[in-house]
Amino acid sequence: MRVGVMIEGQEGLTWERWLRLIDAAEDMGYESLCRSDHLTSLAGDSKRPSLETWTSLTLVAVRTRRIRFGPMVSPVTFYQPALLAKMAVSLDTLSNGRMDLGIGGGWNEPEHATFGIPLPPVKERLDRLEAAARYIRALGVGEPVTLDQPYYGLRKAENYPLPTYGRLRVVVGGRGEKRTLRIAAEFADEWNVTRVDPDGFRQKREVLAQHCAAVRRDPETIARSLMIPLAIGRDRPDVARRIAAARAIFPQMPADDEAWRKASFLAGTPREVVESLKQWEAAGVQRVLLQMLDQEDLAALELFARHVLPHVK
* CA 71 to each of CA 8, 22, 221, 225, 295: distance values in angstroms, whole numbers, following the listed order: 10, 14, 21, 14, 17
Query: At residue 211, what is the residue type?
Result: H
Q: Give the β-pairing of 145-147 and 154-157.
A: antiparallel
The proportion of the chain whose per-residue pLDDT surpasses 90, expressed as a percent, equals 99
Predicted pLDDT at 313: 85
Q: How many CB atoms lie within 10 A of CB 258?
A: 11
* CA 135 to each of CA 72, 185, 187, 227: distance values in angstroms, whole numbers, following the listed order: 19, 16, 10, 26
Query: Tell me: the pLDDT tens digits for 179-227?
Result: 999 999 999 999 999 999 999 999 999 999 999 999 999 999 999 999 9
Q: How far apart are the C-alpha atoms of 196 and 194, rounded to whole Å?
A: 6
Q: How many CB atoms lie within 10 A of CB 65?
A: 9
Query: At residue 59, what is the residue type?
Result: L
Q: How far apart are the C-alpha atoms of 295 and 249, rounded to whole Å?
A: 10
Mean pLDDT of 100-112: 97
Q: How far apart are the C-alpha atoms of 89 and 283, rounded to whole Å?
A: 32
Q: How far apart are the C-alpha atoms of 73 and 199, rounded to whole Å?
A: 24
b/e sequence 24-54, b meaning 16+ C-beta within 10 Å = bbbeeebbbbbbbbbbbbbbeeeebbbbebb
Residue 33: pLDDT over 90: yes
Q: At how many degrees (to 10) do helices 270-283 and 298-307 cross?
A: 70
Give me the residues paired with residue 3 across strands: 288
Q: Mean pLDDT, the chain, as a whole number?
A: 97
Residue 298: pLDDT over 90: yes
Q: Is the distance from CB of 275 to CB of 307 less than 8 angstroms?
A: no
Predicted pLDDT at 44: 85
| Confidence category of residue 6, pLDDT binned at 50, 70, 90 | very high
Q: How far apart are the C-alpha atoms of 300 and 76, rounded to whole Å?
A: 33
Query: At residue 250, what is the residue type?
Result: F
Predicted pLDDT at 306: 98
